[in-house]
Structure 1
């Protein structure tokens, strides 16, 4: 059975992996990364978390990130996607040990206030939680 959430994550990761960017945690890594990108320090911009892209790639990077957001918003209308997302992240974050609902919502990029107000999301979450716990318990 295909998991649409896992497929979404894979597509997203492949696009990120194929985008020209570097991560540098010291000057040596930064120098090596600048050489890889074929630029000097004045020609890169930080994307956070010690990541850098060429200034000339800002628009393409932003378009990529926006496309992820758009696809995520579209997918959130699909109950199966939401169910698969919750259940996958419960397994990924060892929910059977932590029972930390907030951690799962954060992993799914769902604001806790939105979640509380959204009966559909709560219903799907409870279904995924029950299925996950029953499967792990066996």
Structure 2
């Protein structure tokens, strides 16, 4: 049995939560982050890399981070491919993200699509994506009215 979109997202989130990311928004937090990694904040600065927005990973973990996120994207693509009509996984994927990003209030799919790494052209050019999107859109908009 195929995982649901929510189950897949929860599994992905668990993996991200367990990954050794570090975050620092002040010099004191930076020193503490380095200490937790067993690194000296002055001598070992070359052993870390910024991932933006106050986030860091150790260079030794960078390839694993990229592999994890690539695998997550591939799993979602594979689940989309396995949904023959777009009325199961794809529908639930769109509905979940439409609800997360206020589509029911705005009717604007931009944030929903961005969260899924899709463009409107992607949806229009793929019958199962379009089918799932339209079905989810009807439900999302109906719940608001």
On whether the aligned pair clears a TM of 0.5, the verdict is yes
| Aligned mates of 2:106, 2:143 — CA distance in 1 | 16
Gap regions ≥5 residues in structure 1: none
Q: How does 1:23-102 map to 2 (within 5 A)?
A: 23-39=23-39, 40-77=44-81, 78=83, 79=86, 80-102=88-110
Structure 1-normalised TM-score?
A: 0.87
TM-superposition CA deviations, 1:7-30 (whole Å, max 9, x none): 111111111111111111222211
Write out the 4+ residue segments of structure 1 that deviate beyond 4 Å after TM superposition: none
* RMSD, aligned CA: 1.9
Structure 2-normalised TM-score?
A: 0.83
**Are 1:124 and 2:128 an aligned pair?**
no
TM-superposition CA deviations, 1:52-87 (whole Å, max 9, x none): 111111222222122112111111212311111110
2:22 alignment counterpart:
22
Aligned length: 136
8 Å contact 1:21–1:37 — kept in the other structure? Answer: no
Higher helix share: 1
